[in-house]
């Protein structure tokens, strides 16, 4: 009788709150990843844990507003790496940052040609290969007659491949990425409260204006502006960054289930090959730019990876690389893609039509 009541109670709770199992599964994955010394354990572990649970045939959904809160916290912490001296250095190397970003973006043509070679239409191949946010590329694909399911699947796969491969590869090649040697800045709760409050206001306003990654970009903008203006040298309290990673990782894991991997397997294989090719191509580009500018090649390469702002910046933080440089390159790449992807596509499309 007790077992029956418990079973019915569980069914009722899961029915009313289909996300209820996501937090503990993500937390278990994060804990195990930390125990196994994975890089970015609370993000990658939570992602893998939730994705495996869903691939086993169980149903669970993303934590409501979880990714927004996670991005809000993480972006605030990333912005605190900026100060007046760092900003002077970033501006001094802006030409290198812009060149590296543009060259890295140009490697996306590899994915476009791979997909086109195997018969994919131009719009789908193009927007699936652009290293922008999944939602934004799906929206642009919708305006240009692309296959939206393939764009969403391709963008999600690219993001997760970069997240799973890059931190682990950097840890193996360049050293410890578990934070044991990190510089711990003092915590100032008054400043943090102000930053989080203003970041939430700007993030909400950006969301109202339909700005992509509104909460991440809003919090990042506020944190950088205030930190540079007042030359702050503070950090997040212990555990805050991990909490944000857990929320984001648990949400990312909900993108994947059996149906995801069964959907167009040949397309997914091509997407994987294209993503790996772009990552490999970033190595000689970073070497060349590092030789030209005397900037750290590892930092430049991380800034050119087709991943997310938060994930690549957190990897730089764990390895004590120049987080603001990585963040600047990632943000610049995102802005270029958002504002230039559609105009370039339409020019390309008109050019192809005129040649027929």
- The answer to whether residues 155 and 134 touch, using CB atoms and an 8 Å cutoff, is yes
Q: What is the C-alpha to C-alpha distance for residues 5 and 41, in angstroms, rounded to an integer?
A: 37
DSSP, res 26: H
Out of 13-17, 52-56, 88-92, 119-123, pick the least confident: 13-17
Q: Quick check: 5 pLDDT over 80?
A: no
Q: How many domains does the chain have?
A: 1
Q: How many helices (H) and strands (E) does the chain have?
A: 18, 0
Question: Which residue segment(s) compose the domain that 261 sits in?
Answer: 71-355
Q: What is the C-alpha to C-alpha distance for residues 111 and 125, in angstroms, rounded to an integer?
A: 7
Note the pLDDT of residue 280: 93
pLDDT digits (tens, 9 = 90+) for 237-273: 989 999 999 999 998 888 888 888 887 789 999 999 9
What value does the mean pLDDT of the chain take?
88
DSSP, res 1: -
pLDDT confidence of 234, banded at 50, 70, 90?
A: very high
pLDDT confidence of 180, banded at 50, 70, 90?
A: very low
What is the DSSP code string of 205-243? HHHHTT-TTHHHHHHHHHHHHHHHHTT----PPTTHHHH
Note the pLDDT of residue 9: 45
In a domain, 265, yes or no: yes
Q: What is the C-alpha to C-alpha distance for residues 328 and 5, in angstroms, rounded to an integer?
A: 55
Q: Which of 256, 201, 265, 244 is nearest to 56 (CA)?
A: 256
Other CB atoms within 10 A of residue 189 CB: 9
In a domain, 322, yes or no: yes
pLDDT confidence of 178, banded at 50, 70, 90?
A: very low
More confident residue, 288 or 171: 288
Crossing angle for the helix pair 309-318 and 214-229, to the nearest 10 degrees: 50
Note the pLDDT of residue 177: 47
- The angle at the Cα of 26, spanning 4 to 186, to the nearest 5 degrees, equals 135
Three-state DSSP class for residue 139 = helix
Note the pLDDT of residue 179: 45
In a domain, 237, yes or no: yes
Q: What is the C-alpha to C-alpha distance for residues 225 and 75, in angstroms, rounded to an integer?
A: 12
Note the pLDDT of residue 112: 94
Give backbone dihedrals phi and psi of 289, rounded to 5 degrees, phi first: -65, -35
In a domain, 214, yes or no: yes
Query: Average pLDDT in the 164-179 region?
Result: 76
- The answer to whether residues 25 and 49 touch, using CB atoms and an 8 Å cutoff, is yes
In a domain, 10, yes or no: no
In a domain, 186, yes or no: yes
pLDDT confidence of 2, banded at 50, 70, 90?
A: low
Task: Please report, rounded to a whole number, the percentage of residues in the chain having pLDDT higher than 90.
Answer: 58
In a domain, 33, yes or no: no
In a domain, 44, yes or no: no
Query: Average pLDDT in the 123-135 region?
Result: 88
Q: What is the pTM of this model?
A: 0.87
Q: Quick check: 59 pLDDT over 90?
A: no
Query: Average pLDDT in the 147-167 region?
Result: 89
């Amino acid at each position: 009788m007790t077992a029956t009541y418990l079973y019915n109670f569980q069914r009722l709770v899961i029915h009313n709150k289909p996300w209820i199992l996501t937090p503990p599964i993500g937390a278990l994955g994060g804990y195990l990843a930390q125990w196994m010394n994975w890089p970015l354990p609370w993000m990658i572990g939570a992602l893998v844990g939730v994705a495996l649970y869903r691939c086993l045939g169980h149903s669970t959904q993303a934590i409501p507003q979880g990714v927004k809160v996670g991005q809000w916290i993480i972006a605030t912490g990333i912005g605190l790496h900026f100060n007046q001296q760092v900003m002077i250095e970033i501006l001094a190397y802006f030409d290198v940052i812009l060149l590296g970003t543009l060259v890295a973006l140009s490697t996306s043509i590899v994915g476009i040609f791979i997909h086109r070679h195997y018969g994919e239409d131009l719009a789908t191949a193009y927007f699936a290969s652009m290293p922008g946010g999944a939602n934004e590329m799906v929206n642009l694909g919708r305006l240009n007659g692309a296959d939206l399911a393939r764009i969403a699947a391709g963008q999600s796969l690219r993001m997760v491949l970069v997240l799973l491969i890059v931190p682990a590869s950097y840890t193996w090649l360049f050293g410890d990425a578990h934070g044991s040697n990190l510089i711990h800045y003092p915590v100032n709760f008054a400043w943090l409260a102000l930053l989080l409050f203003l970041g939430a206001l700007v993030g909400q306003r950006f969301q109202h204006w339909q700005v992509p990654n509104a909460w991440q970009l809003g919090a990042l903008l506020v944190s950088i502006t205030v930190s540079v203006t007042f030359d702050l040298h503070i950090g997040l309290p212990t555990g805050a960054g991990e909490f944000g990673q857990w929320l984001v990782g648990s949400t990312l894991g909900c993108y994947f289930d059996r149906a995801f991997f069964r959907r167009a397997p040949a397309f997914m294989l091509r997407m994987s090959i294209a993503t790996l090719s772009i990552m490999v191509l970033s190595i000689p580009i970073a070497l060349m730019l590092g030789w030209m500018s005397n900037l750290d090649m590892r930092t430049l390469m991380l800034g050119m990876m087709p991943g997310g702002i938060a994930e690549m910046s957190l990897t730089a933080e764990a390895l004590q690389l120049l987080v603001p440089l990585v963040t600047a390159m990632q943000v610049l790449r995102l802005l270029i893609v958002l504002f230039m992807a559609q105009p370039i596509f339409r020019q390309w499309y008109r050019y192809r039509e005129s040649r027929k």
